[in-house]
């Protein structure tokens, strides 16, 4: 089973931790979730209600989309958990009319798809179930090979990039050593003291990993 890296600022994080347990790892991130499995890594930005439109207006959504597309993830998703309707040509979100033209919102979503971020609608009450299903898919969907170009590091093992980001000063080579020994991110993060037994892993790296993991557990 994989892990789900969740941005600490995500408002529904406590509820997800309660529902899904230790598969949720809080981190500092540019988007909301990174679902990590044996076969794939998927970047997920969740937008609920008027947050979708406000992030379009201030440009925040496009900065997040760019970061996801340029990340080691093999797939990027924009998950909208609200209800988008049309009324007199205007976009209505969760029953609240907006100043946005309905068709303009749809074209913004099409633009995101064009650059590699796929819009998906998931009702808010189903979001935890969706993440669990997505994590399972990331473990099993070896047959799926995205057409988007990958980096050389990603071709070796995309999980290396994730562990490298989580632990300051680790580096891709040492991250690969850790993953090769433990087999998965969950096993590696659950056995940080044993990293000291691996070649090239010094006490400073072990301490940095323990501090990063402790910050996540405090959440």
- Quick one: DSSP state of residue 99? E
The arithmetic mean of pLDDT across residues 45-74, rounded, is: 87
pLDDT at 165 over 90: no
Domain with CATH 3.40.50.10130 in the chain: 3-140
Model confidence pTM above 0.85: no
> Can you give the pLDDT at residue 219?
40
Average pLDDT, the chain: 82
In sequence order, what DSSP letters do the residues of 6-18 get, joined into one string? EETT-TTHHHHHH
Residues 27-54: pLDDT tens digits?
A: 888 889 999 888 888 999 999 888 999 8
The arithmetic mean of pLDDT across residues 76-87, rounded, is: 94
> Can you give the pLDDT at residue 149?
45
With cut-offs at 50, 70 and 90, classify the pLDDT of residue 150.
very low
The arithmetic mean of pLDDT across residues 55-73, rounded, is: 85
Give the integer Cα–Cα distance in Å for 84 and 96.
Answer: 10
Return the number of other C-beta atoms located less than 10 Å from residue 211's C-beta. 13
Give the integer Cα–Cα distance in Å for 61 and 18.
Answer: 28
Domain with CATH 1.10.150.20 in the chain: 152-218
> Can you give the pLDDT at residue 181?
84
Q: Which of 194, 190, 168, 24 is nearest to 177 (CA)?
A: 194
Return the number of other C-beta atoms located less than 10 Å from residue 99's C-beta. 8
Fold that domain 3-140 belongs to in CATH? Rossmann fold (3.40.50)
Return the number of other C-beta atoms located less than 10 Å from residue 209's C-beta. 23
CA-to-CA separations, 115 to 65, 70, 94, in angstroms, rounded:
8, 11, 27
Give yes or no for a contact between 206 and 196, defined as CB atoms under 8 angstroms apart: yes
Token pair belonging to 158: 């995309």
With cut-offs at 50, 70 and 90, classify the pLDDT of residue 155.
very low
Give the integer Cα–Cα distance in Å for 112 and 182.
Answer: 37
Among residues of the chain, what percentage have pLDDT more than 70? 87
Residues 166-201: pLDDT tens digits?
A: 777 788 778 888 887 887 777 888 888 999 888 888
* More confident site: 84 or 209: 84
For 219, the 3-state DSSP assignment is coil
Among residues of the chain, what percentage have pLDDT more than 90? 24
Return the number of other C-beta atoms located less than 10 Å from residue 98's C-beta. 18
121 alpha-carbon distance from chain centroid: 16
For domain 152-218, is the CATH number 1.10.150.20? yes
> Can you give the pLDDT at residue 182?
83
> Can you give the pLDDT at residue 199?
84
Token pair belonging to 62: 């496009």
Highest mean pLDDT pick, 58-67, 72-81, 135-144 = 72-81
Residues 4-34: pLDDT tens digits?
A: 888 888 878 778 877 777 788 888 888 899 9
């Amino acid at each position: 089973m994989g892990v789900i890296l969740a941005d600490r600022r995500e408002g529904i994080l406590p509820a997800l931790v309660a529902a899904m347990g230790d598969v949720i790892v809080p981190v500092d991130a540019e988007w909301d979730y990174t679902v990590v499995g044996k076969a794939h890594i998927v970047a997920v930005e969740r937008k609920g209600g008027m947050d979708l439109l406000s992030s379009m207006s201030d440009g925040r959504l496009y900065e997040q989309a760019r970061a996801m597309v340029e990340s080691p993830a093999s797939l990027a998703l924009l998950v909208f958990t609200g209800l988008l309707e049309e009324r007199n040509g205007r976009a209505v979100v969760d029953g609240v009319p907006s100043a946005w033209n309905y068709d303009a919102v749809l074209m913004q979503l099409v633009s995101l798809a064009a650059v590699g971020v796929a819009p998906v609608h998931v009702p808010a009450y189903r979001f935890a179930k969706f993440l669990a299903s997505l994590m399972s898919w990331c473990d099993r969907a070896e047959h799926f090979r995205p057409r988007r170009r990958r980096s050389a590091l990603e071709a070796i093992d995309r999980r290396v990039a994730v562990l490298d980001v989580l632990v300051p000063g680790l580096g891709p080579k040492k991250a690969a050593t850790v993953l090769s020994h433990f087999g998965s991110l969950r096993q590696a993060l659950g056995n940080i003291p044993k990293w000291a037994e691996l070649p090239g892993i010094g006490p400073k790296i072990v301490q940095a990993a323990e501090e990063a993991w402790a910050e996540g557990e405090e959440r």
